[in-house]
Amino acid sequence: MKQEYVELFKSKCDDKNFEKLKNIENQKLHDFVAKYTKLCNPDSIFVRTDVDEDADYLRARALQIGEEKTLRTEGHTVHFDGYYDQARDKANTKYLLRPDEVLGSDIKSEDRQKGLKEVHGILENIMVGKQMYVCFFCLGPTNSEFSIPAVQITDSTYVAHSEGILYRRGYEEFRKRGNMDKFFRFVHSAGVIKDSVSCDVYNRRVYIDLEEEMVYSTNTQYAGNTVGLKKLAMRLAIKRASQEGWLTEHMFIMGVNGADDKRVTYFTGSFPSACGKTATAMLEGEKIIGDEIAYLRQVNGKIRAVNVERGIFGIIQDVSEESDPVIFKALTTPGEVIFSNVLIDPDNNPRWLGDGREKPESGINFAGNWGPGKTGPDDNEVLFSHKNARYTIKLKNLKNCDDNLENPEGVEVGGVIYGGRDSDTSVPVAQSFDWAHGILTQAAAIESETTAATLGAEGVRKFNLMANLDFLSIPIGRYIQNNLDIVEGAKKLPLVFHVNYFLKGNNEKYLNGMKDKHVWIKWMELRVHNETDAILTPIGYIPKYEELAILFKNILNKEYTKPQYEEQFKLRIPELLAKINRIKDIYQKKVFDTPHILIKTLDEQKQRLEECLKIYGDYVSPFVLEENQK
pLDDT at 630: 72
Percent of the chain with pLDDT over 70: 99
* Residues 498, 512: Cα–Cα separation, whole Å: 16
Predicted structure pTM score? 0.95
Q: Is the pLDDT at 505 greater than 90, yes or no?
A: yes
Which residue from 196, 305, 183 is spatially nearest to 250, judged by alpha carbons?
Answer: 305
Q: DSSP string spanning 2-41?
A: -HHHHHHHHHHS-HHHHHHHHTS--HHHHHHHHHHHHHH-
Identify the CATH number of the domain defined by range 248-308+404-627.
3.90.228.20
Residue 229 has pLDDT above 90, yes or no: yes
SS3 276: coil
Strand runs labelled E in 279-372 = 287-290, 294-299, 302-307, 311-315, 337-340, 343-344, 350-351, 363-365, 368-370
Query: 534-537 and 429-431: which strand pairing?
Result: unpaired
Reduced to 3 states (helix: H, G, I; strand: E, B; else coil), residue 151 is strand
Length of the chain counted residue by residue: 630
pLDDT tens per residue across span 374-408:
999 999 999 999 999 999 999 999 999 999 999 99
Helix or strand or coil: residue 266?
Answer: strand
pLDDT one-digit tens code per residue, 550-595: 999 999 999 999 999 999 999 999 999 999 999 999 999 989 899 9
SS3 382: coil
Instruction: Please say whether the dihedral angle defined by the alpha carbons of residues 235, 237, 240 and 244, taken in this order, is positive or negative.
Output: negative
pLDDT computed for residue 498 by the predictor: 97
Host H or E run for residue 437: helix 435-441
Whether the CB-CB separation of 280 and 418 falls below 8 Å is answered with no
C-beta of residue 422 within 8 angstroms of C-beta of residue 447: yes
- Helix or strand holding residue 188 (H, E): strand 184-189
How many whole angstroms separate alpha carbon 36 and alpha carbon 321?
Answer: 46
What is the DSSP annotation of 523-572? HHHHHHTT-S-EEEETTEEEE-HHHHHHHHHHHH-----HHHHHHHHSEE
Question: Which 3 state secondary structure label does DSSP give 340?
Answer: strand
pLDDT digits (tens, 9 = 90+) for 65-106: 999 999 999 999 999 999 999 988 989 999 999 988 888 767
- In one-letter notation, the amino acid at residue 510 is Y
At residue 455, does pLDDT exceed 60?
no
Per-residue pLDDT tens digits for 231-269: 999 999 999 999 999 999 999 999 999 987 789 999 999
Q: Give yes or no for a contact between 21 and 30, defined as CB atoms under 8 angstroms apart.
A: yes
CATH superfamily entry for domain 313-397: Phosphoenolpyruvate Carboxykinase, domain 2 (2.170.8.10)
Please list the residues that pair with 247 across neighbouring strands. Answer: 296
Which residues have a catalytic role annotated? 275
Provide long-range contacts, Cβ within 8 A and 24+ apart, for 54-60. Answer: 55/164, 58/133, 58/157, 58/160, 58/161, 58/164, 59/161
The whole-number pLDDT of residue 400 equals 95
What is the distance between the alpha carbons of residues 480 and 512, in angstroms, rounded to a whole number? 31
pLDDT band per the 50, 70, 90 thresholds, residue 436: very high
- SS3 breakdown of the chain: % helix, strand, coil, rounded to 5? 35, 25, 40
Distance CA 333, CA 490 (A): 45
> φ and ψ at 24, to 5 degrees?
-95, 115
399 exposure class (CB count in 10 Å sphere: 0-12, 13-18, 19+): exposed
Q: Are 464 and 272 in contact (CB under 8 A)?
A: yes
pLDDT at 448 over 60: yes
| 454 pLDDT tier (thresholds 50, 70, 90) | very low
Check residue 457 and give its pLDDT: 62
DSSP-derived letter for residue 457 is -
Domain boundaries, the chain: 3-67+88-244, 248-308+404-627, 313-397
What is the distance between the alpha carbons of residues 466 and 553, in angstroms, rounded to a whole number? 32
Give the mean pLDDT of 195-223.
95
pLDDT at 25 over 80: yes
Which spans in 474-536 are helix H?
476-485, 517-528
Q: What gap in Å lies between CA 225 and CA 12, rounded to an integer?
A: 27
Q: Which amino acid is at 314?
A: G
Burial zone of 328 (CB within 10 Å; 0-12 exposed, 13-18 middle, 19+ buried) = middle
- Identify the pLDDT of residue 608: 98
Burial 238-262 (b: 16+ CB within 10 A, else e): bbbbbeeebbbbbbbbbbbeeeeee
CATH level 2 (architecture), domain 3-67+88-244: 3-Layer(aba) Sandwich (3.40)
Whole-angstrom distance, CA of residue 390 vs CA of residue 339:
6
Answer yes or no: is pLDDT of 450 > 80: no
Q: Is the pLDDT of residue 485 over 70?
A: yes
Assess whether pLDDT exceeds 80 at residue 456.
no
CB atoms within 10 A of CB 75: 14
Find all residues with CB under 8 Å of 384, minimum gap 6, and list them.
Answer: 343, 351, 353, 359, 360, 363, 365, 370
> Over the stretch 166-197, which tens digit does the pLDDT of each residue have?
999 999 999 999 999 999 999 999 999 999 99
10 Å CB burial of residue 15 (0-12, 13-18, 19+) is: exposed
Measured distance CA(44)–CA(132) in Å, rounded: 6
DSSP 381: B
Question: In the predicted model, what is the mean pLDDT of the chain?
Answer: 95
Judge whether residue 274 has pLDDT over 70.
yes
Task: Name which of 161, 156, 163, 170 is nearest 218 in CA terms.
Answer: 156
pLDDT per residue as tens digits for the range 134-159? 999 999 999 999 999 999 999 999 99
Is the per-residue pLDDT at 453 higher than 70?
no
Element counts in the chain: helices (H) and strands (E) = 19, 35
- Which pLDDT tens digit goes with each residue over 314-335? 999 999 998 889 999 999 999 9
